[in-house]
Structure 1
Amino acid sequence: MRTRLYRDGRLEKENFPATEISGYVTDRRNAVWIDLCRPTPADLAALGDELDLHELAVEDVLGDHQRPKIDVYDNHLFVTVYAVRHDGDRFVPAEIDVFVTDTALVTVRMDPALDLAEVIRRWDGAPHLAANGVLFLLHGLLDWVVDGQLQLVLDLDARAEELEDELFEERPANAKETQRRMYELRKTTARFRKIALPMRELFGTLLHRDRGVLHGSEMAPYYQDVYDHVLRTAELLESLRDLLANIRETRLAQQGFRLNQIMKRLTGWAAIIAVPTAITGFYGQNVPFPGSGESWGFWASLVLVSVTSVALYAVFRRNDWL
């Protein structure tokens, strides 16, 4: 467990034991951050009793794959968001459950590989906002989450544009490799949409004036700025989906065009070969014909084969059939 104590907008203490939490959260001049990584059900139950958290919110933490959301209870908020973590080239969504009370921000994460050091750096980089207490802490966390999502969709968009450029190269890359990259990109985008698009609804609830969460707070414009990034992420995702659909349709059209070109060339060569076959078959008859048994008959058939083959090739070439 990691802890921080802000008092009157100043950082007073870090990494203090859990036994001191109850003494700090009762003072409205304080803002306490508590970070739990893979807590046990008993730990969550004890924390819920300490902060008077709703039992349904505590149950949601224990359930896997919650949808990004915000639940408003009488004395606290429960927020579920997904941070972006990279495992090599693979995108891994990391769930963060957040309890927001008047004097405490509790983050719960089940992925130990998810590091919140960047969130702490953002808090330390804006000490002039620390006087806003828990709203300041929540803003730093959500700002970090949204920025990570925005950066991921920008990376996905750049990869989609690279695929689009490859489609029109004179010598396209390996077809199987291109198909695999296209499939992985579409799969990643579909997974990412599930955790990014609900953020619009989450911030819509958080910014709603009737809720009173940010009413009259100095932090309201800062949350609005994060919301703008959420909207940009959603817009980029929609355009990315359209781009991937266009890339797929273009690739299918190119495959059909290339298949038609191949069939056209094969048909043209088959026609060129068919004429000499017909001529030589005619001269191979077992009945008398003009030139039968004469040397000039052989040369006549050879000239006829050559002339007709060249003529057919020239006609097909002029019509772009070869």
Structure 2
Amino acid sequence: MVRTRLYRDGNLVSEGFPIAEVSDHVTDPGNVVWFDLCAPGAADLERVGEELGLHTLAVEDVFQEHQRPKVDVYDSHLFITAYWLHLEDSRLHPVEISIFVTPNALVTVRENAHFDIDKVTARWDASGDLAKNGVSFLLHGLLDYVVDAHFDLVERFDEEVEALEDQLFEERPMTRQDARKMFTLRKNMVGLRKVATPMREVVNTLLRRDLHVVTPEMMPYYQDLYDHVLRVAEWTDNLRDLMSNLRETHMSQQGFRLNEIMKKLTSWAAIIAVPTMITGFYGQNVPYPGFGSSAGFWWSSTIIVVASGLLYLAFKKRDWL
């Protein structure tokens, strides 16, 4: 699947043209070309590399899995790796996006179709007055959509952490399902941090004036994008610390509840031990006060009830029962 666009002097003049025409369009400095590839094969990328003169190492990096978000600077272009994230069945799924940036061309290579490129083009169309900034404008719209997805996720995780905090101090103890939810949330936040934190370096590199990627008019937009990236990274770090505190508090509460249970069991065992001792003592085959009469039975029963009651009141006063 290939999507192509041609801008001239800030106006969209053509869409859906074949990749073979890209080299003809980019020769005109007034043109800006964008095209998108979804899960392309090696032959498709090689053809794109020949059309735009892309470095071989950059083309090879597209097929290298689990790349860190980064910016590689080559003589004629930049190569950017970023990740768009989405949740599916409470699991975080990253979609790798490889981006080639030349003076008047932008190439996006998506790992799969989960990344909806139509939403990116809708953003471009909604800000058409900035299209005269060329590649700088297109790249900002793409990265802004990626960072917004990170921001939405960290907001959602923050709400889930708050819900866990409230639940932690309820009378009802946390179930195994709650513990699994806490583990899944922590795992998702680690995944978000792995792709969101390096984006600071990515955007900061693009802001370098010697690269001439960001036009003066687009500079405030990229600075705002950098601010969002910083907020996501810091927010994620704070949530990770909160999750660690939640886990430690949960473990402390489990130890506290275990101590409460042990106190109750010990108290009941002490109460039961007294009648056991008395009946065991009178069970010896020797005469005792009241031996051979019903008075001995009533005396032993009275001692058992009184001693057990006194122990119960003493333990209850200490809040052991």
> 1:179 is matched with which residue?
179
Paired residue secondary structure (2:62): helix
- Contact 2:4 2:35 survives alignment (8 Å): yes
1:193 aligns with 2:193: yes
1:156-213: CA deviations, max 9, x gaps? 111111111111112235x110111011111111112111110011111111234333
1:54 aligns with 2:55: yes
1:215-263: CA deviations, max 9, x gaps? x521111001011000000011010100100110010000000000000
> 1:224 is matched with which residue?
223
1:84 aligns with 2:120: no
Q: Distance in 1 between matches of 2:273 and 2:121?
A: 78
Paired residue secondary structure (1:62): coil
- CA-based RMSD: 1.2
Residue 63 of structure 2 aligns with an amino acid whose one-letter code is L
Output aligned runs, 1:130-145, within 5 Å. 130-145=131-146
Paired residue secondary structure (1:169): coil
Paired residue secondary structure (2:5): strand
Paired residue secondary structure (1:166): helix
> 1:101 is matched with which residue?
102
Q: 1:15 to 1:93 in 2, by over 3 A?
A: same
- Contact 2:5 2:14 survives alignment (8 Å): yes
1:272-300: CA deviations, max 9, x gaps? 00001111111111011221112111111
Q: Distance in 1 between matches of 2:277 and 2:11?
A: 97
Give the deviation of 1:88 after TM superposition: 4.2
Give the deviation of 1:140 after TM superposition: 0.2
Q: Distance in 2 between matches of 1:15 and 1:212?
A: 28
Report the count of equivalent residues. 320
1:314 aligns with 2:305: no
Paired residue secondary structure (1:75): coil
Residue 277 of structure 2 aligns with an amino acid whose one-letter code is A
> 1:207 is matched with which residue?
207
> 2:153 is matched with which residue?
152
> 1:294 is matched with which residue?
293
Gaps of 5+ in 2: none
> 2:237 is matched with which residue?
238
Q: Distance in 2 between matches of 1:112 and 1:17?
A: 20
Q: Distance in 2 between matches of 1:210 and 1:52?
A: 21
Paired residue secondary structure (1:310): helix
Q: Distance in 2 between matches of 1:123 and 1:286?
A: 99
Q: Distance in 2 between matches of 1:249 and 1:110?
A: 38
> 2:39 is matched with which residue?
38
Q: Distance in 1 between matches of 2:84 and 2:280?
A: 75
1:118-170: CA deviations, max 9, x gaps? 11111001011000001100000000000001111111111111111111112
Q: Distance in 2 between matches of 1:11 and 1:172?
A: 60
Output aligned runs, 1:268-283, within 5 Å. 268-283=267-282
Output aligned runs, 1:245-284, within 5 Å. 245-284=244-283
Residue 80 of structure 2 aligns with an amino acid whose one-letter code is V
1:15-43: CA deviations, max 9, x gaps? 11222212111111111111011111111
Q: Distance in 2 between matches of 1:273 and 1:18?
A: 87
Where in structure 1 do 4 or more consecutive aligned residues deviate above 6 Å? none
- Contact 2:91 2:184 survives alignment (8 Å): no
Q: Distance in 2 between matches of 1:241 and 1:106?
A: 35
Q: Distance in 1 between matches of 2:108 and 2:220?
A: 23
> Percent sequence identity over matched residues?
58
Paired residue secondary structure (1:231): helix
Q: Distance in 2 between matches of 1:87 and 1:254?
A: 31
- Contact 2:4 2:33 survives alignment (8 Å): yes
Q: Distance in 1 between matches of 2:14 and 2:213?
A: 26
Paired residue secondary structure (2:92): strand
Gaps of 5+ in 1: none
> 2:284 is matched with which residue?
285
- Contact 2:92 2:191 survives alignment (8 Å): no
> 1:21 is matched with which residue?
22
Residue 108 of structure 1 aligns with an amino acid whose one-letter code is V
Give the deviation of 1:85 after TM superposition: 2.6
1:11 aligns with 2:33: no
